[in-house]
């Protein structure tokens, strides 16, 4: 198996490159990452609904060329979240100081590119990098660990009230013939009692095939409130793999929302550990997949300590021959008495070729818990349709309004008004694109 993996183009083509920062601990970490990487296949339970092995074997991914970056005007900003934020731009995983906007950052926030940190003071990040992300069970996070070269390190000081969100815009860009793969790494440390918001927009510049294989590690100190909103709007030639590892301290709140429209194949892995008493996680999302798209959300909420609360609601619209996957695991440790953990996945199928697989999994070792999970999968409601049509809407108009409402309903859980509004605009834009596609077909 190990041999086969090193022969994969994505690994073989990356290997000869000089990696920035040669500290022994880093070489060791990268080595362990590559050693742990196994291409998930038919027998890999966690990936049984999302098959990626054929793509990885047949596509000759290369590391991004050191070309001139796209001009600021070439970045499809309309595909990114429209909310105000300090722009932090990654092009193919590399931090671009020119395209970013670090000047207005408040003093309570420090942002550094991973590459420069590894060069200037690698020892300072040694205790944090890879601290949260397990290598076992997360093959692509392991690959990221093996091949990572750049990304961002974001530190938010204790007690900081950061009003303007930090906005990471990750641009996937394959200007030449060769399919490009990159492995961005984000490390976010939120201090005790801090309040901050991180936005992530993943967009693609039109061009060739890309693979974004990101890992985000977030630690949230006690009593902090951290909002994390992500939009994945890459091109239909893109593959988007992302793993987020979040540790939430006592009485801290983590609120996340992930919205996906893009990529032909995407996998959003999120694992949240409630690692302090009374920690809270609100982890929600929505996706819209059409023909030629496969969207996987796999979440794992780990209640490690007492009186934690987790609430998850995901909604997906699947059209044409698109495919949606939701795997939601909640684990309640023996110590985690007084836990409340709820999870819901709702899918709306718009065609009879559309398909959704949902797999909830509850493992509970404490006895004083309130947990629930639910999954529904259905079509548009006939009574809703008739009501709207009886008010004069055509069939298409009524369907459009109901599909939009289905997604807007879960986007209402986003507590930042500007982000909520921007996400709803994106749903609206998706529907307009969709009716364009239907007319063209």
Partner 1 sequence: MALIEIKDLHASVDGKEILKGVSLTINPGEMHALMGPNGTGKSTLSNVIAGRAGYEVTSGDVLLEGRSILDMEPNERSNAGVFLAFQYPVEIPGVATSTFLKAAINAKRKFAGQKEIDAMEFLKLVKARAKELNVRDDMLKRPVNVGFSGGEKKRAEILQMALLEPKFCILDETDSGLDIDALKVVSDGVNALRSADRSFLVITHYQRLLSYIVPDFVHVFAGGRIVRSGGKELAMELEENGYAEYVDAA
Per CB under 8 A, residues contacting partner 1 are 381-384, 386-395, 397-398, 401-402, 404-410, 412
CB of 417 to partner 1, least distance (A): 13
| Residue 206 or 409 having the CB closest to partner 1 | 409
Through-space distance between the first and last CA atoms of the chain, rounded to whole angstroms = 44
What is the number of other CB atoms lying within 10 angstroms of the CB of residue 436?
A: 10
CB of 413 to partner 1, least distance (A): 11
With 0-12 / 13-18 / 19 or more C-beta atoms within 10 angstroms meaning exposed / middle / buried, residue 389 is middle
CB of 411 to partner 1, least distance (A): 8
| Residue 121 or 397 having the CB closest to partner 1 | 397
CB of 408 to partner 1, least distance (A): 4
Q: Each residue of 6-17: b (16+ CB within 10 Å) or e?
A: eebbbbeebeee
- Give CA 333 to chain center in angstroms: 25
CB of 384 to partner 1, least distance (A): 5
What is the number of other CB atoms lying within 10 angstroms of the CB of residue 1?
A: 8
Q: Which residues contact 40 (CB under 8 A, 6 or more apart)?
A: 46, 47, 52, 53, 139
CB of 105 to partner 1, least distance (A): 35
| Residue 330 or 426 having the CB closest to partner 1 | 426
Q: Which residues contact 232 (CB under 8 A, 6 or more apart)?
A: 202, 240, 242, 258, 259, 260, 261, 262, 263, 266, 268
DSSP secondary structure letter of residue 207: S
CB of 410 to partner 1, least distance (A): 8
| Residue 336 or 410 having the CB closest to partner 1 | 410
| Residue 311 or 330 having the CB closest to partner 1 | 311
| Residue 119 or 381 having the CB closest to partner 1 | 381
CB of 379 to partner 1, least distance (A): 14
| Residue 46 or 421 having the CB closest to partner 1 | 421
Kindly state the tokens that stand for 29.
């970490």
CB of 117 to partner 1, least distance (A): 43
**Cα–Cα distance for residue pair 230/225, rounded to 1 Å:** 17
| Residue 195 or 402 having the CB closest to partner 1 | 402
> How many helices, marked H, and strands, marked E, lie in the chain?
10, 20
Beta bridge partners of 331: 302, 363
Q: Which residues contact 171 (CB under 8 A, 6 or more apart)?
A: 70, 75, 89, 90, 91, 92, 203, 204, 205
| Residue 37 or 257 having the CB closest to partner 1 | 257
DSSP secondary structure letter of residue 428: H
CB of 387 to partner 1, least distance (A): 5
Using DSSP's 3-state secondary structure scheme, residue 46 falls into helix
| Residue 104 or 390 having the CB closest to partner 1 | 390
Q: Which residues contact 380 (CB under 8 A, 6 or more apart)?
A: 348, 350, 399, 402, 403
């Amino acid at each position: 198996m190990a041999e086969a993996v090193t022969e994969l183009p994505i690994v073989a083509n990356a290997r000869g490159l000089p990696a920035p920062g040669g500290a022994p601990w880093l070489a060791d970490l990268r080595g362990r990452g590559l050693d742990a990487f196994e291409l998930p296949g038919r027998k890999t339970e966690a990936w049984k609904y999302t098959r990626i092995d054929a793509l990885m074997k047949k596509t000759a991914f290369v590391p991004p060329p050191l070309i001139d970056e796209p001009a600021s005007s070439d970045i499809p900003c309309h595909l990114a979240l429209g909310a105000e934020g300090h722009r932090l731009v990654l092009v193919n995983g590399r931090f671009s100081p020119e395209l970013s906007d670090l000047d207005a950052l408040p003093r309570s926030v420090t942002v550094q590119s991973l590459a420069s940190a590894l060069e200037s003071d690698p020892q300072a990040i040694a205790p944090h990098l890879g601290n949260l992300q397990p290598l076992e069970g997360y093959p692509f996070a392991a690959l990221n660990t093996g091949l990572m070269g750049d990304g961002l390190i974001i530190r938010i000081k204790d007690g900081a009230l950061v009003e303007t969100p930090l906005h990471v815009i990750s641009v996937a860009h394959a200007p030449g013939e060769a399919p490009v793969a990159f492995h961005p790494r984000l490390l976010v440390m939120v201090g005790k009692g801090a309040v901050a918001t991180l936005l992530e927009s993943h967009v693609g510049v039109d061009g060739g095939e890309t693979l974004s294989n990101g890992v985000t590690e977030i630690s949230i100190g006690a009593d902090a409130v951290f909002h994390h909103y992500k939009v994945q709007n890459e091109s239909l030639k893109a593959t988007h793999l992302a793993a987020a590892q979040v540790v939430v301290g006592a009485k801290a709140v983590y609120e996340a929302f992930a919205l996906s429209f893009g990529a032909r194949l995407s996998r959003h892995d999120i694992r949240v550990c409630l690692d302090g008493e009374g920690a809270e996680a609100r982890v929600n999302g929505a996706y819209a997949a059409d023909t030629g798209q496969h969207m996987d959300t796999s979440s794992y909420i780990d209640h490690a300590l007492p009186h934690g609360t987790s609430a998850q609601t995901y909604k997906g619209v699947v059209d044409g021959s698109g495919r949606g996957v939701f795997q939601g695991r909640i684990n309640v440790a023996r110590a985690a008495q007084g836990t409340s953990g709820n999870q819901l996945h709702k899918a709306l199928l718009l065609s009879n070729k559309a398909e959704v697989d949902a797999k909830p999994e509850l493992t509970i070792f404490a006895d004083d818990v309130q947990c629930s999970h639910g999954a529904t999968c259905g079509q548009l409601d006939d009574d809703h349709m008739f009501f709207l049509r009886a008010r004069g809407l055509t069939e298409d108009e009524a369907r459009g309004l109901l599909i939009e409402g289905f997604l807007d309903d879960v986007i209402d859980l986003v507590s930042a008004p500007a982000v909520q509004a921007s996400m709803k605009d994106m749903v609206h834009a998706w529907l307009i694109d969709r009716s364009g596609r239907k007319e063209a077909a």
